[in-house]
Structure 1
Amino acid sequence: MSDEELAAYSLVELAVDRLRRDILSGRNDPGERLVEEQLTRRLGISRAPLREAMRLLAQQGLIEHIPRRGARVATLSDDDVRELYEVRDVLERHAVGGIPAGPDLTGLRAALDVMRKATEAGDRPELANAHRRFHTEVVRLSGNRQLTDLYESVLVRIQLYMAVNMRREAEVARAEDGVHRHERLFAAVVAGDVQGILTALSDHGARAYLT
């Protein structure tokens, strides 16, 4: 790969990362139009890497291209959201049943630590990423890589709407409540309590995001 190709690729990665963080943190609402001129100025890149970044984000289900109307943040119907949560529940239950005794909790502990720090700093984008990473790490404990990849792709699509609701929740709930919920889930994993893990996941508040 030439220096020019490497530089262009780096710009695409930068744009993907910035736009993904904005969408998944709730900065951009579902259905919001994405204007190329505004994005090129804000990101400091040309249209070519921006369009490639938006193409990659469309593959992830985060952006939709509407004929003759440009691009927008992806939208989900009520049925889409309900079905995605059903898939999430099935994958979580299958994964939890496959967690071996004495699993390596390094990744899960690190995600919880990032969540605590992001909560203290009021860093909503980092907090959203930490939430998703924590749940992905729980599923990763099963050792099933394909299941983990599928689960993470489902979480990314759900977070389109979770981000909006997390923003609303932040206005009425204590910031540390989310950390405490994940600490209870972590404790159940440490104890190897399968039923406790499933109960913690069920009580985690996910269904509140269906409103």
Structure 2
Amino acid sequence: MGDGELESHSLVDLALDRLSREILSGRTDPGERLVEEQLTRRLGISRAPLREALRLLAQQGLVEHIPRRGVRVATLSDDDVRELYEVRDVLERHAVANIRPGADLSGLQAALEVMRKSTEAGDRLAIADAHRRFHVEVVTLGGNRQLSVLYESVLVRLQLYMAVNLRREAEVAEPSDGVHRHERLLAAVALGDANAIISALSAHGARTYLP
């Protein structure tokens, strides 16, 4: 890979990171148009890396390409959200049935530590990202890599849904609650008891994996 290709790749990563953070933090509204001319000026990049970043965001389900109307932040209907939660639950139950005692918990412990620090700092997006990473690490312990990839894609789309409520959640939720729930989930995983893990997951509530 030449220098030009490396520079283009890094610009794609820059745009991808900035735009995904804006979308998942709730700073953009579902259905909001993303205008290329404005984005290239604001991000200081050309159209080629921007379009590649938008393509990758579309693959993640965070933006939608609308024929003759450009790109907009993705929207989720009530049915979309209900179906995503159903898929999430099915994948979790399948994965945790294959977790055994003695599993490597380092990924879970690292995500939990990030969650603690983000909670202390009051960084809602970092907290949400850490929660997603924690749950992906749980499912990864089930040993099915393709299932884990699918599971994370579902969580990213649910995080988009939850982003709309991040500010409201900050007003009503005790920040440490999420840490304590994940500590209990970590203890259940350490036991390798599928029923205990499912019970701990259920304690998060039927409609969220965030605080």
Q: Normalising by structure 1, what TM-score?
A: 0.93
The aligned amino acid for 1:156 is V
The AA in structure 2 aligned to 1:66 is: I
**Structure 1 residues 47-99: Cα deviation after superposition (integer angstroms, max 9, x where no partner):** 22111110111122111112232211111111111011000000000101000
Instruction: Please say which of residues 95-104 and 190-199 is displaced more in the overlay.
Output: 190-199
Distance in 1, matches of 2:42 and 2:206, equals 33
Alpha-carbon distance between aligned partners in 1 of 2:43 and 2:11, rounded to the nearest angstrom: 9
1:148 is matched with: 148
Give 3-state SS (helix, strand or coil) of 2:45's partner. Answer: coil
Report if the CA contact (8 A) 1:30-1:74 is conserved.
yes
Question: Which AA in structure 2 matches 1:9?
Answer: H
Q: Contact 1:12 / 1:52 at 8 angstroms: preserved in 2?
A: yes
Deviates more, 1:44-53 or 1:82-91: 44-53
CA contact (8 A) 2:100 2:193 kept: no
Aligned to 2:5: 5
Distance 2:137 2:33 in 1: 33
Gaps of 5+ in 1: none
The separation in 2 between residues aligned to 1:168 and 1:41, in whole angstroms, is 31
Q: Which runs of 4+ in 1 moved over 3 A?
A: none
Q: How does 1:45-194 map to 2 (within 5 A)?
A: 45-194=45-194
Identify if the C-alpha distance between structure 1 residues 37 and 208 changes in structure 2 by more than 3 Å, giving closer, same or farther.
same
Q: Percent identity?
A: 78
Specify every segment of 5 or more residues in structure 2 that has no aligned partner in the other structure, as ranges. none
SS of the residue aligned with 1:27?
Answer: coil
Aligned residues: 209
Higher mean displacement: 156-165 or 88-97: 156-165
2:207 alignment partner, SS class: helix
CA contact (8 A) 1:22 1:125 kept: no
Other structure's SS at 1:64 match: strand
The residue aligned with 1:36 is: 36
RMSD: 1.5
- Report the TM-score, using the length of structure 2 for normalisation: 0.93
Secondary structure in 2 matching 1:26 = coil
Instruction: Give 1:208 shift.
Output: 5.3
